[in-house]
Structure 1
Amino acid sequence: MTTAVANPRTGGSGGRTAVAAAGRQVVKAYGSGDTRVVALDRVDVDIAAGAFTAIMGPSGSGKSTLMHCLAGLDSVTSGQIRIGDQEITSLKDKKLTRLRRDRIGFIFQAFNLLPTLNAVENITLPMDIAGRKVDQRWLDQVVETVGLSGRLKHRPNQLSGGQQQRVAVARALAARPEIIFGDEPTGNLDSRAGAEVLGFLRRSVDELGQTIVMVTHDPVAASYADRVLYLADGRIVDEMLRPSAEAVLDRMKSFDTFGRVS
């Protein structure tokens, strides 16, 4: 399996970079016989390390399914998934759970913050559960990057939606995962708060060296990425480097809006 790919941050012309996650001939199907639905149809994909990748496509294209399979949140029907040099499709549940805990970060539409904990307690909770010592210097850098320095003692009900999602971003970053997956991470935010969170994700790539994969339907959100992958009918049909919102929107207009499984 590929261990290096063209660097999307340099438009593919600035050498090669490591692969943070990869899929080979990935098939994900639901049901059988006449009711069988293919969500992913022999997908090959490499996710560059240290870059921001967006996954787009019409409803039913398989974009969320692809992210869930790459992240080890869903099993594949056939094919291989790797995180770094680790093949994960054959891992038993316990080892897969440990891998997700130790090497992968997640950001979802729902902030998933515990209401009884303040911001910093929510940020460090996964490490506390895992019994891992918090790297205070890194935590301070993450908090500064996402602009939460003055809000660490606030509980979720004392924070705006945008601030709560920043806590969720900081929580994902704080454990220094190899890769972060975001499923419509700004879907519940207004445009201003969404732009703030996307800006922090962009900074985490540029300044902290993070690898981010984000599923989105929003051309503006996709324009923050280094590379956009387009799915249709369970297959990757196109990609765009250094996207603009206008270029992404034009490309999306060419897709059939009726797909199969999101």
Structure 2
Amino acid sequence: MAPPTSTLLDVAARTVDTVKVYGRNESVVRALDGVTIDFTRGAFTAIMGPSGSGKSTLLHCLAGLDTVTSGEVYIGDTAIAGLSDSDLTLLRRDRLGFVFQTYNLVPTLTAAENIELPLRLAGRRADPAWLETVVAAVGLADRLGHRPAELSGGQQQRVAAARALVTRPEILFADEPTGALDSRSSAELLAFLRRAVDEFGQTIVMVTHDPMAAARADRVVFLADGRIVNEMIAPTTGDILDAMKKLGG
């Protein structure tokens, strides 16, 4: 695979010869096996691969949710392996956004309160104009007073996406964000993520098993057995399906 051609100023996150090992002795699993990759600012990257390929492990290591066994992980020019627990918490809070398959909304809070929660925890107030922009982009202006139980799954996931963006993160990490959604809700969320990149300049790194979801990305990276084995720029759903069939995914 050719080395990355982007300059470090263009790179939102990167890994250098990253290895992640779980277990010991006979039960050792090498989830990442020397992964080196750059993620460009203002781009939407999808990570795909068969079950057990290391895609979620890579995302979690990039996001500082898991530690690497060896190698380096950078957010911008910050090497996260050497950060203390408190500094890592601050980095995740102030510079990163997260959307997971489970919505992780606080059930007693309204949609508006859930969206603003990360800012309140950081002792900051939302920029009213940016908050209005994000709420409008996810189409939730008429649902802000509702609690999660009063919202559909798709609406709850859009609340989670708005919560992730309201802090203006350097990178938004999404781990199977459409996995629990029906086709319509999935399409709405993916349209929002695409708009976040195209209109707001957001950087997104998304793990998905869905070729249609991955086709919304600018770039798709394929993993197998903890290694990067292929990547495509602006692929079609058909291109992705063909690549996954070759990987046995």
TM-score norm. by structure 1 comes to 0.91
For residues 3 and 192 of structure 1, what CA distance do their matches in structure 2 show? 36
For residues 188 and 3 of structure 1, what CA distance do their matches in structure 2 show? 34
**CA apart distance, 1:157:** 1.4
5+ residue gaps in structure 1? 7-15, 258-262
**CA apart distance, 1:243:** 1.6
For residues 165 and 90 of structure 1, what CA distance do their matches in structure 2 show? 33
Task: Report SS of the residue matched to 1:176.
Answer: coil
Q: Which residue of 2 aligns with 1:150?
A: 142
**CA apart distance, 1:178:** 0.2
**CA apart distance, 1:32:** 2.4
For residues 4 and 147 of structure 1, what CA distance do their matches in structure 2 show? 37
Q: Which residue of 2 aligns with 1:126?
A: 118
What one-letter code is carried by the residue in structure 1 that aligns with 2:147? Answer: R
- Residues 4 and 37 in structure 2, CA contact (< 8 A), matched pair in contact too: no
Q: Which residue of 1 aligns with 2:222?
A: 230
Q: Which residue of 2 aligns with 1:194?
A: 186
For residues 167 and 181 of structure 1, what CA distance do their matches in structure 2 show? 15
2:48 is aligned, of 56, 64, 88, to 56
Task: Report SS of the residue matched to 2:51.
Answer: coil
Task: Report SS of the residue matched to 2:247.
Answer: coil
For residues 256 and 25 of structure 1, what CA distance do their matches in structure 2 show? 25
Q: Which residue of 2 aligns with 1:5?
A: 6
RMSD: 1.5
2:239 is aligned, of 234, 238, 247, to 247
What one-letter code is carried by the residue in structure 2 that aligns with 1:56? Answer: M
Runs (4+) of structure 1 exceeding 6 A deviation are none
Q: Which residue of 1 aligns with 2:70?
A: 78
For residues 155 and 116 of structure 1, what CA distance do their matches in structure 2 show? 7
TM-score norm. by structure 2 comes to 0.96
For residues 142 and 4 of structure 1, what CA distance do their matches in structure 2 show? 32
Q: State yes or no: 1:107 paired with 2:99.
A: yes
Distance 1:219 1:178, change over 3 A: same
What one-letter code is carried by the residue in structure 2 that aligns with 1:172? Answer: A
Distance 1:3 1:236, change over 3 A: closer
- Residues 3 and 18 in structure 1, CA contact (< 8 A), matched pair in contact too: no
After superposition, the C-alpha distances for 1:7-40 in whole angstroms (9 at most, x for unaligned) are xxxxxxxxx9710000000000012222221000
- Residues 138 and 174 in structure 1, CA contact (< 8 A), matched pair in contact too: yes
What one-letter code is carried by the residue in structure 2 that aligns with 1:82? Answer: Y
**CA apart distance, 1:43:** 0.3
Distance 1:243 1:3, change over 3 A: closer
- Residues 26 and 78 in structure 1, CA contact (< 8 A), matched pair in contact too: yes
After superposition, the C-alpha distances for 1:106-130 in whole angstroms (9 at most, x for unaligned) are 0000111111111110000011011
Percent identical residues: 62
**CA apart distance, 1:4:** 6.9
**CA apart distance, 1:149:** 1.3
Q: State yes or no: 1:256 paired with 2:243.
A: no
After superposition, the C-alpha distances for 1:41-91 in whole angstroms (9 at most, x for unaligned) are 000010011010000000010000000000000000000000011110111
5+ residue gaps in structure 2? none
Q: State yes or no: 1:117 paired with 2:118.
A: no
What one-letter code is carried by the residue in structure 1 that aligns with 2:67? Answer: S
For residues 4 and 113 of structure 2, what CA distance do their matches in structure 1 show? 37
What one-letter code is carried by the residue in structure 2 that aligns with 1:5? Answer: S
For residues 208 and 146 of structure 1, what CA distance do their matches in structure 2 show? 13
- Residues 39 and 233 in structure 1, CA contact (< 8 A), matched pair in contact too: yes
Distance 1:70 1:196, change over 3 A: same
**CA apart distance, 1:256:** 3.1
Task: Report SS of the residue matched to 1:94.
Answer: helix
